[in-house]
Amino acid sequence: MRVPFIAANWKMFKTVHEGVVFVKEFRSMVKDISDVEIVVAPPFTAVHAVAEAARNSVVGVAGQDVHWEREGAFTGAISAGMLREAGAEYVIIGHSERRRLFGDTDETVNRKLVAALGSRLTPIVCIGETLEERERGETLAVLDRQIKAGLDSLTGEQVASLVLAYEPVWAIGTGRNATPLEAGEAHGHIRNRLRQWFGAPAADHCHVIYGGSVKPDNIHEIVVHPDVDGALVGGASLEVRAFFDIVARSRQSTV
């Protein structure tokens, strides 16, 4: 059975000191929670310090992006091996902000995904449609394209180990989130495509989570759907109590 997976994406917030303070307080709050997989994704500058602060706790650490090459003349980039050495166990790939602002495509997502798996990082792969695509009725076709191209050449066993984050672009940072019906439809479609293209074990083991204006007061109605396994949390993850409440309330669908 898949346990809830809750990840905090801090984006370009928190200094090293602020990240360490957060984790030291947060780890004591969740020390008795064993039925939720919890991850925080600090800026690159804080990955090592936050990983050290989270050591021997239930809190895992993710990078917010990764390059597909092991090394080279790629100013400003970071490799999967570097993230792993810094203490990361996970990495976010293909976030809509990376796609929209920095030119990530389904093809580069695939290259990053392969590199992450090669360095024993668990990828958190983001997919989702824009408002214009949803209004044109293209949501499911967009998800098909992103899954097919983004996961190209992966085996069923590799797909089983992934986290797929459905994040409708129109819901990120807007305060507007998909209704439980909309989220459930998208997640059900994703699960069916995984089963069709990669096999039942992949579909049954891959975490499919929701991202987009997730808050303590709406997390339960999102994760109560059987195909929604958790959440990728942005703004609400910046405050310790709010993020703890999201983690705690995500358990209500399984306990």
Query: What are the helix (H) ranges across 36-79?
Result: 47-54
Q: What pLDDT does residue 255 have?
A: 44
Torsion 70-76-82-83 (CA) sign: negative
Q: How far apart are CA 198 and CA 226, in angstroms?
A: 20
- Residue (of 209, 177, 174, 173) closest to 190 by Cα position: 209
Pairing of strands 37-41, 122-127: unpaired
Q: What pLDDT does residue 179 have?
A: 82
Contact 245, 21 (CB under 8 A): no
The predicted model scores a pTM of 0.96
191: its two tokens: 């699960």
Walking along the chain (255 residues) 10 residues at a time, the average pLDDT comes out as: 94 98 98 97 98 98 98 98 98 96 97 98 97 92 98 98 94 73 92 98 97 92 92 97 97 60
- Residue (of 66, 77, 166, 156) closest to 110 by Cα position: 66
Q: What pLDDT does residue 174 have?
A: 67
Secondary structure string (H, E, C) spanning 144-200: HHHHHHHCCCCCHHHHHCCEEEECCHHHCCCCCCCCHHHHHHHHHHHHHHHHHHHCH
- Residue type for 213, please? S
pLDDT digit string, tens, across residues 171-215: 776 666 678 888 899 999 999 999 999 999 999 999 999 998 899
206: its two tokens: 């891959």
CA distances from 94 to 12, 175, 176 (A): 16, 21, 21
Q: How far apart are CA 171 and CA 176, in angstroms?
A: 5
Active site residues per annotation: 95, 167
Domains of the chain, by residue range, sit at 7-253
pLDDT digit string, tens, across residues 130-158: 989 998 999 999 999 999 999 999 999 99
Which residues have CB under 8 Å from 200's CB, separation 6+? none
Contact 166, 127 (CB under 8 A): yes
Q: Which element (helix H / strand E) includes 61?
A: strand 59-63
Second CATH level (architecture) for the domain 7-253: Alpha-Beta Barrel (3.20)
